[in-house]
Amino acid sequence: MVEPETVEVDETSRVLVTGGAGAIGCNLHRALLQKGARVLVLDDLSSGRAEFIDSRADFLEGSIIDEGTLDRAMGFRPTHVFHLASLFANQLSVEQPERDLLVNGLGTLRLLLAAAKARVRRFTYVSSSCVYESGTGFDETNPRRSTSTPYAITKALGEDYAHYAFRRLRLPGAVVRLFNVYGPYELPGRYRNVIPNFIDLALQRKPLPVTGTGQETRDFTFVDDVVRGLLLASRVTFDTVHHFNLGTGTETRIVDLANLINRIAGNPRGVELQPPRDWDTVSGRLAETRLARELLGFEARTPLAVGLARTHEWLAQARTR
């Protein structure tokens, strides 16, 4: 293997974060600002919140589908691009499959083409563990194959477009696959993740609805660890395109997650089992992070109880604003 080239994010960097008003994007763009980088957040605010954007960041409201918006974004002359913008996520994609394809497919392709033309030095494509079909061990070197939802299909399509741009258009970059990220700046809602919804119900002293048997497992990863992994992935370009899993390598049963959140929130109402969602056929997810450890030096550091307590504290405060 050719020795990888390293480009650090520092005070000379100009960084574009698509989807930067979302939960991960808010934490990421703050970390970039802390490094002294100038940051442009591009977001259409379909799910992100403008009030969560740090005042030190530049903000461009618009969609990655719109070529005029992308022209303005590239006018920022970014050295790095972190592509988090997407139609999120599985349930919404089932209800709106054409919009999912438009944003996650065409939008990603247009952004890659624009970044290659602008000679961006590093492009980090943020994919999802949902591209894997089933099982509990998700090896970074195994091909993804899920067709369970349009979101799974289009996130994999985005990976393919990224491969094309990395190899044929000479756009340096990496693909990262995220495992069940949680943390501050994510509000509850119908199309949001399980943890903010569980915490919100626990704060209301309501029982937590667990779909399926409760024995299903996921690899819940705190957002601070994910941000660190994204920054590590953006530093280097290898002669081979790698997929880096960003997860903890620890399985948690959903019923155990619910019980832990109830304990943290002091919620006595317990859990209620509900029928599984018809598209959710994966009984377990567990990140295999060998490549991320060996090539990036990544390791998740935040215990679940600690991350949940911090998320509970943030959401409890957000509810009072």
Catalytic residues: 151
Residue with tokens 């405060």: 317
Helix (H) or strand (E) holding 111: helix 108-117
Using alpha carbons only, how large is the chain's radius of gyration in Å?
19
- Cα separation, 271 vs 259, whole angstroms: 7
Q: Tokens representing 229?
A: 């992994």
Residue 242 burial by Cβ neighbours in a 10 Å radius (0-12, 13-18, 19+): middle
Question: What are the CB-based long-range contacts (under 8 Å, 24+) for 316-321?
Answer: 316/203, 318/187, 319/200, 319/203
**317 phi/psi in degrees, rounded to 5:** -70, -40
Q: Which residues in the chain belong to E strands, given as ranges?
A: 5-6, 14-18, 38-43, 58-61, 80-83, 122-128, 173-178, 181-182, 208-211, 217-218, 221-222, 236-237, 243-246, 252-253, 271-274
Contact status, residue 171 vs residue 112, Cβ threshold 8 Å: yes
